[in-house]
Every structure is written in structure tokens, then in C-alpha cells.
Amino acid sequence: MTPKANGVRLPAARLRRTGAQAVYDALRRDIMCLDLAPGAALDEGQLCRQFKVSRTPVREALIRLASEGLAELNPNRGARVASIEFADVVDHYEAMDVFMPVACHFAAVRRTSDDIARLRELLGRFSGAVQNKDSAGMISSNYELHSAIARACHNRCIERGYRQMLTDKLRLAQHGLPGTTFDKGSALADRFNGTARISAQLVRAIERGDSRQAEQLARKLNQFVRSQVVAVLSASLGKRIALPLPDRPIRSRSSSVSHHRGKKKAQS
């Protein structure tokens, strides 16, 4: 017999979709909060037992996570949480230096009254999470806030690309390499205070339709987060980490992220 929800009999296909969504939501939250560390195994059998579902919803959730770059699927080794490498850090911040100002420009030009109301609501939620030192709330509300900025572009290609970059950005904002995890709670709130302040300025610029200011604040926000990542990675690894700035050419992949000990070398 097909199970019921609220007295209504649900088709099996819909139940599978509901199960897959629940598995996806839980795994995504744990991956983004680093409760599931990069490289951690995602065993189908264990997940089936944990969520009390069949393999089909679990596989659907894993495929969806893989499409977002949060999981890696290997026929021989099974599924794992996607790893984070130095090259990912460099590629991401280079792309965000270009992409984020464009997204914020279009949001300022095309935002509607509904968009503005949503941005205000999510900014308040994000600021509240920072004040309460709610690490999970900071991560989720920050993602939702910038997803709303992406929607305010009213361009599906920009929205889709920006959402993917936001996912990567929030992982990088907490984690550098294996063994260099950012603190949670108070320490994370301290880092997000600056993000919340600049985000509030950005929302106000979008609200008043100031596209130039929105672009400038987008760059400022990205540079602020970049500096936080560099500082924590440098402290964690005991080395000075340098990420190339957007106006500096990268000679090769191997030199895209440099490690320096001692004093900074003079630049030509």
C-alpha cells in the first residue's frame, strides 16, 4: 500500500522525490558546515540506514550534490565529499573578482520591489545569526542573501553561475586545506562581522539602484573574504600564503599559489 501524508495517499515517485530532497538538504548542510569534511566517504548503505530510505533517493541526492561540486562520484571508490585544493582557492577568487560585480550590477539595475523586500529580510536574518554566533545560521543565511541578489539579476545564466560560486565561496570561507579548518562559533562570527557590514552596504546600493556602487562593494566584499581566507590559511599552515591579484598574470598553474617563509620578496 502506498503510504499517506496528512491523510492523502502519495504516489511512490513523489515519496522518492521527498526522500531525496531530505537527504540532499541534510548532506548539503553538513558539507557546507564542515560537519562532513572534504574527502569524507558518503557510503550509500550507511546513508540509507541513517535516513531510513532506499538507495534510489540517496543516489538522487548524491548526483545532485555532485552536480554542484559538493560530492565526487567514483564507480570504484564510491561517493566522497569533494576535496578543496589550493588551485580551487585561486580559481574561485579570480572568477569571483569578475563575476560578482557583474551580478551585483544587474541586480541594482533590475531589482523589483519584491526583490528589495526579500533582500531586507535575508540581510536581517544574516545579521541576527552573526550577532547570535550561530555558525550554521550564518552560513545558510549568507548563502540565501546572495542567492537573492542573484535572483534580482533576472538573468537565469547569471543566477545559475553565481549560485555555484556562492557554494564554493562558503566552503572556502571556512576551510582551506585538509587539517586547516576555520573555527566555528565566536571566531567565525568575528570574521562574518565584516562580511555582514559590507553586505548591508551592498544591499542598500542595490535598493537605491546604484549599479556603480554595487559593483565597487562587490569587489570590496570579495577582497575582504579573500584576505580572511589568506590570513587563516597562513596561520594554520605556518607559512605565508599569497593569492594572485586579478590584475597580475599567472605564469603557470604550479606558481598560481605561492608559499613564502620569512620576509616578503621584493616584487619587480
Q: Is the pLDDT of residue 89 over 80?
A: no
Mean pLDDT of the chain: 78
| 172-197 pLDDT tens trace | 666 543 443 444 545 566 678 889 99
Instruction: Look at residue 7 and give its three-state secondary structure.
Output: coil
Among candidates 174, 186, 185, 143, which has minimal Cα distance to 37?
A: 174
pLDDT for the residue 191:
73
Tell me the fold of 12-81. Answer: Arc Repressor Mutant, subunit A (1.10.10)
Same fold, 12-81 and 86-247: no
With a CB cutoff of 8 Å and minimum separation 6, the contacts of 95 are 165
How confident is the model over 14-20, as a mean pLDDT? 63
For the 86-247 domain, the top CATH level (class) is mainly alpha
| 92-147 pLDDT tens trace | 888 888 889 999 999 999 999 999 999 999 999 999 999 998 877 888 899 899 99
List the chain domain ranges.
12-81, 86-247
| 63-78 pLDDT tens trace | 999 988 889 999 888 8
- DSSP percent split of the chain into helix, strand, coil, nearest 5: 65, 10, 25
Range ranked top by mean pLDDT from 4-8, 86-90, 192-196, 205-209: 205-209
pLDDT for the residue 187:
58
pLDDT for the residue 17:
56
